[in-house]
Structure 1
C-alpha cells in the first residue's frame, strides 16, 4: 500500500484516494506511521499544470475579492457593512429618497450604532459603498489579467492576491 504526500499533516492513500491526517489517533493514521517506520516513504504528488495552477489561483482570487467586498468600508467617517444584503437595502433606501427627497432613515452602522441618513447622506453613503465594491472588482480584474498573463508557475506564484484591496 502506498501514500502520496499532500501537505505537512496529510497524506493520500494511493489505493483508494482517502486523505489521512498523519498525526491522528485513527487506525488510518496509525497504519501510515507504521508504514513509514517500516522504511517506506510517500510518493510526491505530481506538480499541477500551469492551467490547473491558474484555475486554483483564480478561485482563490474570487474568494479574496468577496472577503474584501463584504468586509465593510468607511464612508464619511462611518464604518458601514458592505455585504450583499446591506448593498441591496442601501439601494432600496436611495430609491425611496429619490422618490421622496424628504425621506430619512435610521441606518445601522457596522459597530451596531445608528445614524440618521437624509436624502443627501443616503446618496453620499451609497456612492461610497459602491466605490468600495467597485474598487474590489477593479483590483480583482487587475489580478485576473496578471494571472492570465503568467507564462510559468514561478511567475504565477509571485502574484500577491492578498494585498492592495480597498479598506
Structure 2
C-alpha cells in the first residue's frame, strides 16, 4: 500500500516538474513557432556495469525516439530491458550542449532528466533502494559524436555503469 502511494507521488512530482509552464515572452513564442526540430531513432550498442555480475543484463535491447528542437531542448521516450531483465520505460526531457564542430562532425553532451518505470523488486532481491520504488526520477549525462545524420552516444547510469547507443536522424 505504502509502496504504491510513494510511486504515485514520485510520478506526479516528476511529471509536474517536466511540464510546469514558465512565463515566456511574445518573441519566444514566435521563435518557438519557427523552431523546426528533428527526430532521432536510437538503439543500444553495448552496456557495461562497473561491478561485473553474470546475473546482470548487458543487452538492454534499447529502442528510443528523441525529438531535438533547434533551441537545444530535447524530449524522448525509451524502452529497454533493465539490468534485471525487466521491461522498463524512460520518459524524459533535457538539453543538448554542442562542444565542438569539425567539418561534418559534432561533439556534444546532453543532460536528460525524467522518470523511469519498470523496476520490480517486491521480494527484495536487488540491493538498490530505487529498485524497490519501481518508478523513480532519473538524471542521465550523455556524451556523443554526430556525423551528418548519424550519432553515437555514451550515457552514464548512476554509479552502475554506462550504455552506448547509436542512432539516426530522420
Normalised by the length of structure 2, the TM-score is: 0.28
Question: More helix by proportion, 1 or 2?
Answer: 1
Question: More strand by proportion, 1 or 2?
Answer: 2
With a CA cutoff of 8 Å and minimum separation of 6, indicate the structure with the bigger relative contact order. 2
Normalised by the length of structure 1, the TM-score is: 0.28
Larger Rg: 1
